[in-house]
Structure 1
Amino acid sequence: MPSNLHEAGMKVDFKAKQLEFASYIRDPENNPPPADVQPQRMAMYRELFFNNIDSFLSANFPVLRTILDDRQWFELGQDFFSKHASQSPHFSEIPEEFLDYLQNERDSSADFPFMLELAHYEWVEMALSIAKETVPANQKSVDTLLNQHIRLSPLAWPLAYQYPVQKISPAFLPETAPEQATFLIVYRDQDDEVNFIEITPITYRLLQIIQEQEEVVTTDCLKQVTEELNHPNPEMIRAGGLQILKELAEKTIISVA
């Protein structure tokens, strides 16, 4: 019995020491260093951990990195490092954890108003590049798309942003969102290359309908978008929509069942 109590005590002590160690590494300004570890060694550990996080963020959010100066970038990384409790131990999921932090924990009036959208836009490329799904090949000719069942590729993501995130750079930093939202389709093709295409609101709505229904007949999809638009020339909308669907099928953004 005493042996078991001793072992339990050792486990509690270890957890407490681990928490003390991690707390200081995360936020040395607000947590004391472990008393039994040399300050130089703690500084080395902290620099190692923080630099690993910083390198992953810089690699996955290159545009965000370029529009922030060194001080702003360091403070952003430090805030993430100290505040966010990551739910995944995998380095590849750090960018997604960073998005969660920006959306739910970040609170700074000095941030660009488009920062979350830009970060999401940059994260999408990485997420699609490592996704395990495969791009289904079209089994039927896209020329006979009418009346066929179609579905959205699992590696094609329709996106809508308030800001034109694909244009943001050090030379273009919009302070307010334009009246017209930005619609994009990001997809990985059969050569495993990730592509970004700016699309019209109608194309975005077509993709939404396909995505919502998982699989839909082209005529039903075109009928729904035509009715929603209430256009005076519905045939023109149907013909234009069919052409859009053919182009999307050629790019394997949608597949023909």
Structure 2
Amino acid sequence: MATQLQATQSQFAAYIRDPENNPKPADVDHRRMAMYRELFFNNIDSFIASNFPVLRTILSDAQWLELTQDFFARHRCETPYFSEIAEEFLAYLQNERNNPDDYPFLLELAHYEWVEMALSIAKDTPVLGSGDFLENLLLRRIALSPLAWPLLYRYPVQAIGPGFLPREAPEQPSCLIVHRDEYDQVHFLKTTGLTIRLLQIFQDQGGMSGESCLRAVAAEFPQLDVEALMSNGLPILRELAEKGILIPAVDA
């Protein structure tokens, strides 16, 4: 009995996912199955559209429907939580999506849009630096806030929209910092590759002084003048700390 029920459930789910290639359960009315599928699919479609509004805007109705139906039929989600479906959609784009007609920036744009949602619901509560911390950044141990993400994209995802759909990546990547402030507002900052590398070092080390980090950057870029980097780097550190992107490192 249990085996028969499981088989019926599997057939039910397979039909709902992909009715073109799977038969419906024989004892369920066709109209009811169509209603069930529409209910399930519309929920997923609506959720993805709300989390990827730019992606939805740049695709025609037919393109969007093909994309979401392919995700619905092909991808096997590993989570029952609606808040994590957007991440599942990213996994699908990265590992399963294979359509040569897609925009070349599709995955990067989707990731850029997902970041905002991911940061908005992150449960981290970093402790921001005090005035003393801001005044002694070269000496104090600094860490990258868990609510600040340095990002590199091949395409200028922050500018993509219906009026700008690049087919080729520019020579220079787009360097962005996405962070959530103390008021739980998510911000996107355009920055330089040098600043991204600075943040990556703090992220990798888990905590180091501002001076040590700047010297580490100088060692990676020998074409830069060390003293100039130390002098110009301090205002950058202070700005990042004031925004809560850099915070005091927590001793283990």
**What band does the TM-score fall into relative to the shorter chain?**
over 0.9
Q: What TM-score comes out, normalization by structure 2 length?
A: 0.97
Structure 2 equivalent of residue 98 of structure 1:
89
4+ residue stretches of structure 1 with deviation over 4 A? Answer: none
Change (3 A) 1:215 1:141: closer
Quick one: which amino acid aligns to residue 171 of structure 1? G
Q: Partner of 1:195: helix, strand, or coil?
A: strand
Q: What TM-score comes out, normalization by structure 1 length?
A: 0.95
| 1:118 paired to 2:73 | no
| 1:25 paired to 2:16 | yes
Between the aligned residues of both structures, percent identity stands at 59
Q: Within 2, Cα distance between the matches of 1:72 and 1:233?
A: 51
Structure 2 equivalent of residue 83 of structure 1:
74
| 1:143 paired to 2:135 | yes
Change (3 A) 1:247 1:232: closer
Deviation of residue 232 (structure 1)?
A: 5.0
Q: Within 2, Cα distance between the matches of 1:172 and 1:154?
A: 32
Q: Partner of 1:187: helix, strand, or coil?
A: strand
Matches within 5 A, 1:214-225: 214-225=206-217
Quick one: which amino acid aligns to residue 165 of structure 1? V
Q: Which runs of 5+ in 1 are unaligned?
A: 1-9
**Which deviations, in whole Å up to 9, do the C-alpha atoms of 1:65-91 show, x marking residues without a partner?**
000000000000000000000000111
Q: Which runs of 5+ in 2 are unaligned?
A: none
1:187 is aligned, of 179, 183, 188, to 179
Query: Is the CA contact 2:119–2:180 (under 8 Å) kept in the aligned structure 1?
Result: yes
| 1:170 paired to 2:162 | yes
Quick one: which amino acid aligns to residue 251 of structure 1? K
**Which deviations, in whole Å up to 9, do the C-alpha atoms of 1:45-83 show, x marking residues without a partner?**
000000000011100000000000000000000000000
Q: Partner of 1:184: helix, strand, or coil?
A: strand
Q: Within 1, Cα distance between the matches of 2:92 and 2:225?
A: 47
Deviation of residue 143 (structure 1)?
A: 2.2
Structure 2 equivalent of residue 201 of structure 1:
193
Quick one: which amino acid aligns to residue 61 of structure 1? F
Query: Is the CA contact 2:133–2:140 (under 8 Å) kept in the aligned structure 1?
Result: no
Question: Larger Cα Rg: Structure 1 or Structure 2?
Answer: 1
Query: Is the CA contact 1:158–1:184 (under 8 Å) kept in the aligned structure 2?
Result: yes
Q: Partner of 2:38: helix, strand, or coil?
A: helix
Deviation of residue 160 (structure 1)?
A: 0.5
Deviation of residue 227 (structure 1)?
A: 1.6
